[in-house]
Amino acid sequence: MGVRTYRGQIVCDVRWPDGSRTIRVFAKRTAAKNLRDRIKGSIADGSWRALQEKLRLRDRDDESFCLMEYSQIYIDEYAKPRNKKRAWERKKVSLKALNTVLGKLKLQEITHARLHKYVQKRKLAGVSNGTINRDLTTLKHLLKYATESGVIQFNPVESLKKLYEEEKERPRFTDQQIQAVLDKIRPDSRPLFTFIRETGCRREEALSLQHWQIQLDSRLVVFSENTKSKKLRYVPLTEEAVEAVTALPKLPGCPYVFYSQKTKTRWAECRKPWHEARKEANVPDLQVKDLRRHYAIKLAERGADMHDIQQVLGHSSVQITEKHYAHFSPTHSAKKVLHVLEGGKAVERSA
């Protein structure tokens, strides 16, 4: 019983309290262990009958499994345990749209041709390419999960290409404009936004920042929880960042660095002070995410390696970093090349 290898295959074999067994073959041992642990957890808390029924549905012949049925299984078994609430709720929105057109199809019947018709219908309804791409990405991942779980033999739309999305560049804000907004923010919330500017972190990473994450001796902050990539990363603390994290006194029983004076706990969103400040500073288009963008651009223009920028920003790859930030200073690369060329001429003349 449990997870074992049988004739070269990874098998999860678990017995239920009513004496029945669930036997499932997996491509990866981790997936088998996850199912074993879910079953044991449901038995412990008494909810095992509901899970048993879900697994019984999954054990049916693949020929009778339609997208609408598997969508809920995918959300419950994969998306909810692994994604943040906002992310899996967005997947539910995509699956709802997909099921309206494709929900009754068996998983193996979802072909490129049928998806092209789905795209056509969405386009005629005025849906943007970006939204359609999110729908297709969700579907492809659902089918990938079904393949890895042994529900279907292969992903029928694995090679489907996304639609073209025209990138709209955000305006680049100056140091003076950003500082003008920070100066207008009321004192109790100013340290929060100063910290975001000085570390390039995301809003939620700053809102949920706890004292144990701050390492003043080594001038570092460690982000390990509530990160988008769910990866550990260290970011250096500038003088202004240190001032920001030490601006508010520690509250007994409150682990958060930044907190509301009224609720005595972390800010939920802290949007109102920001909106009021940018309006008063006459920079109405400045968004909090522009502080992160400004941080990355400054690093690039001051000579930081793109891989180092990727690490401190927490991107999954350097390509993501280059895609979002490299184009913001189109003359910077030209100036660097000119500097190298002029420097080379000076060396030749001295020789």
Strand partners of residue 206:
none
Tokens of 318: 């350097």
pLDDT of residue 219: 95
pTM recorded for the entire structure:
0.63
Tokens of 69: 């049925």
Q: Where are the beta strands (DSSP E) in 124-218?
A: 214-215
pLDDT of residue 73: 87
- The answer to whether the Cα torsion of 197, 202, 203, 206 is positive or negative is negative
- According to DSSP, residue 77 is labeled I
**Closest of 106, 146, 141, 139 to residue 122, by C-alpha:** 139
Q: Identity (one letter) of the amino acid at 223? A: F
Strands 9-15 and 233-236: unpaired
CA distance 146 to 150: 6
Number of helices (H), then strands (E), in the chain: 16, 6
Kindly tell me the burial class for residue 209, based on how many C-beta atoms sit within 10 Å of its own C-beta (0-12, 13-18, 19 or more). Answer: buried
CA distance 121 to 135: 13
- Edge-first strand order for the sheet with 233-236 is 214-215, 220-223, 233-236
For the chain, which ranges sit under pLDDT 70?
A: 27, 57-64, 167, 225-226, 229-230, 325-336, 339-340, 343-351
pLDDT of residue 327: 55
- Domains assigned to the chain: 2-148 (1.10.150), 175-334 (1.10.443.10)
pLDDT of residue 151: 79
